[in-house]
Chains A and B, each alone.
Chain A
C-alpha cells in the first residue's frame, strides 16, 4: 500500500466514522461537527486523488476549494439556527429545570 492509497482509505474511514456519529448522536452541535468531519473525509479523498499524477490535478483542488467555501458558510448558518433554536427551547420550557 503506497501513501496515496493510505490517504484514500483514511479519507473513507473518516467519512464512515462521522456518518456513524451523525446517525447515533442526538445533540445538534455534535451532529453538525459530524457533518463537518464527513466533509473533511471527502476533501481528503479528493486531495489524495489529485496527487496521483506527477503534477497535482488542479481541477480537484478547485473542487475542494469550492467545497470548503460551501461547507464554511453552511456551518455558520447551521450554528446560528441551532443557537437560535436552543434559546427558543429555554423560553418555551416554562420553568422547572431552568437555570437562575
Chain B
C-alpha cells in the first residue's frame, strides 16, 4: 500500500511545489522536474502492482487509523494498481511530448498535469462514495483549467464543460445523499452487501448513473466532449481523451458491479449495452463527417467509449467476469491509441498549417512519421491484430460468439468496427493523395513526430504482454 500512496503523493506534492514556486523556475526546468517526478511515480506504481498481484486480494487502508466503519478507506486491488501504472505511463509519454516538442506548452500546464495525475491516482484508490465525489470534482476542475490553457478561444467551450461537469457532479452527490440516507453508509464494501432493490436505491443509482454518464461523455450525454477536447492544446487533448473520461467510467463500474444489487444490475445492463452500441455507430458517423482533424479524433473518443460501455453493460447483464477484463483492456488500449492520435493530429496541424481534413493531402510524403503514427494508432482503434484494441475486442467477442442467442450483440461490435475503419481510412486515403500535395507550412518538428509515434507502438506492444494483462485483470497469479 505504501508504494501506491507514494505514487499518489509524488505528483500531488510536485504540483503544490510548482504552484508555490510561481515564476521562480524556468519553463524547461519545470518540465524536467515534472517528468522526473512522473518517472518516480511510475516506478512506485509498478511496485504497488507487484504488491497487489502478490497479495491476491484487495489491500485496504483506513486513513488516520480510525476503525472500519468510521474511517475513509483506500483500496488497492490489482485493477487499481494497473490503472495507477497506466496513468503514470500516459503522463510520462505526454509529458515527454509536451516538454520536447518544438511548440512547447505554457508553464501552467506542468502544475495542472501534476494535479490531474494526483486526482486520478486518488480516484483509482478510493473506496468511499463521497471520496469518489471529491476526486471527481478535482478531476473536472483540473481538466477545465487545462482546456483553458489554449487561450481566449477555448474559454467558451471550457466554461460550458465546467457548468455541465458541475451539474453532473451534483447528480452524483444527490445520489450519494439518498444512498446514505437509506443505508447510513458511504464505504463501497460495507454498502455492497446491504443494498436492496427498492425505490430509493433505484432513484439514487439512476441519478448517479446520469451524472457519471455525462462526465464520461457516454452516449447520449456526449455532446460537450468534441468542442472541449478539440479546442484544448494538443497535449491536453491527449490527456483528456486518454485518461480523464475513464475516471467516471471507473466509478460507474464500481457502482454497478459492487454497490448495486445484482437484480438491478441485470436490469440496467442491456440498456447500457444498447447505449454503447448506438454510441459506436453515432459517434463513428459524426467522426466520418467531421471536417476538422481534431474534431474527428474527439468524435472517435465518443465512439470508442461505446465499446467500454457495451462491455460494462454485458458484464452486468450476464454477470460474466470475462467482460470485466475486456472493459479494462479497452480502456488501456484506447488511452494509448488516443494519445498517439491526438499528438499526431496536433503535429500534422501545425506542420501543414491547416485544421481541415482536406489539408492532409499528400501527408504520407510531407509528414510521414506523424501520419504513420496516426495510421498505426488508428489500426488499434479498428482492432487490427496484433494490437491492444484487437486483444480487447477478442476478449469481448469470445463469450458473445459462444452462444447463438448472443449473436445480435456481435452485430453491434461488427458495425462499430466498420465505422471505425471508415473514419480512419478516410484520413489515410486522403494522405495518400499525391496528385495535389498540400505543401509543408513550416519545417516539421522531427522529435515531436517520433514522440507521437511512441504511444502507438506501445499499444501494439500490448499484445505481447496480453496473457500477463489478462491474468492480472482476472485476479489470478501472474
Contact = CB atoms under 8 A, between A and B. Distances in A.
Interface of A: 15, 19, 22, 28, 31-32, 35, 38-39, 41-42, 45-46, 49, 52, 59-60, 63, 66-67, 70-71, 73-74, 77-78, 81-82, 84-85, 87-89
Given A32-B163, A70-B134, A77-B141, A84 B152 contact: yes
Contacts of A63: 130, 176-177, 180
B162 A85 contact: no
Interface in B141-174: 141, 144-145, 148, 152-153, 155-156, 158-160, 162-163, 166-167, 169-170, 173-174
The size class of the interface chain B forms with chain A is: 20 to 34
Contacts of A52: 181
Q: Main SS of the interface on chain A?
A: helix
Please list the 6 inter-chain residue pairs (A to B) with the smallest Cβ-Cβ separation, ordered nearest first.
A85-B155, A88-B152, A49-B181, A81-B159, A46-B177, A85-B156
Contact of A28 (B153, B159, B173): B159
Given A22-B167, A77-B141, 5 more contacts: A49-B177, A66-B134, A74-B141, A74-B162, A85-B159
Contacts of B174: 15, 41-42, 45
A84 B177 contact: no
Contacts of B156: 85, 88-89
Contacts of B155: 81-82, 84-85, 88
Interface in B45-65: none
Interface of B: 130, 134, 137, 141, 144-145, 148, 152-153, 155-156, 158-160, 162-163, 166-167, 169-170, 173-174, 176-178, 180-181, 186
Contacts, number: 82
A88 B162 CA distance: 18
Nearest to B186: A59
A67 B173 contact: yes
Contacts of A35: 163, 166-167, 170
Contacts of B134: 66, 70
A68 B181 CA distance: 19
B172 to A, nearest CB: 10
B163 A31 contact: yes
Contacts of A39: 166, 170
B152 A85 contact: yes
A45 B178 CA distance: 8
B152 A78 contact: no
Contacts of B153: 88
Contacts of A84: 152, 155
Nearest to B152: A88
A82 B159 contact: yes
A88 B153 CA distance: 7
A81 B144 contact: yes
A52 B180 CA distance: 12
Contacts of B180: 49, 59-60, 63
Contacts of A88: 152-153, 155-156
B177 A45 contact: yes
A12 B291 CA distance: 43
A35 B137 CA distance: 14
A59 B183 CA distance: 13
Of A31, A70, A77, A87, chain B has the most CB atoms within 10 Å of the CB of A70
B167 A38 contact: yes
B163 A78 contact: yes
Contacts of A22: 163, 167
B162 A77 contact: yes
Contact of B159 (A41, A46, A66, A78): A78
A35 B141 CA distance: 15
Contacts of A59: 180, 186
A60 B176 CA distance: 10
26 contacts: A28-B163, A35-B166, A39-B166, A41-B174, A42-B174, A45-B174, A45-B181, A46-B177, A49-B180, A60-B177, A60-B180, A63-B130, A63-B177, A66-B134, A70-B134, A74-B137, A77-B144, A77-B162, A81-B148, A81-B162, A82-B155, A82-B159, A84-B152, A85-B155, A88-B155, A88-B156
